Structure 1
Amino acid sequence: MIHENGQEVCNHGSERTSHHSEKLKNNLITRLNRIEGQIRGIKGMVEKDVYCDDILNQIAAVQSALNAVGRLLLEGHMRSCVIERIQEGDHEVIDELLKTMNKLMK
Structure 2
Amino acid sequence: MAVTTSTSQPVDAPTAPPDAHAHAGPTHGYTPAKDEYLRRLRRVEGQVRGIARMVDQDVYCIDVLTQIAAVTKALQAVGIGLVEDHLSHCVVDAARQSPEAGAEKVREASAAIARLVRS
TM-score band, normalised by the shorter chain?
A: 0.7 to 0.9
- TM-score scaled by length of structure 2: 0.72
Distance 2:65 2:47 in 1: 12
Question: Of the candidates 28, 49, 52, which is equivalent to residue 43 of structure 1?
Answer: 52
Contact 2:28 2:89 in 1 (8 A): no
Shift of 1:93: 1.2
Q: Match for residue 28 of structure 2?
A: 18
Give the alignment of 1:1-106 within 5 angstroms: 18=28, 20-21=31-32, 24-89=33-98, 90=101, 91-106=103-118
Taking the aligned partners of 1:75 and 1:50, their CA distance within structure 2 comes to 37
CA–CA distance in structure 1, aligned partners of residues 40 and 106 of structure 2: 28
1:17 Cα deviation after fit:
5.8
Distance apart, 1:92 and its partner CA = 1.2
- TM-score, length basis structure 1: 0.80
Aligned residues: CA RMSD:
2.0
Q: Which runs of 5+ in 1 are unaligned?
A: 9-15
Q: Which amino acid aligns with 1:93?
A: K
* Secondary structure, aligned partner of 1:105: helix
Which amino acid letter does the alignment assign opposite residue 28 of structure 1? Y
**For 2:46 and 2:55, how far apart are their aligned partners in 1?**
14
Tell me what 1:12 maps to: none
Aligned-pair distance for 1:56? 0.2
Question: Partner amino acid for 1:56?
Answer: L
Alignment partners' CA distance in 1, 2:89 and 2:28: 9
Give percent identity, aligned residues only.
Answer: 40
Structure 1 runs, 4 residues or longer, greater than 6 Å off = 5-8
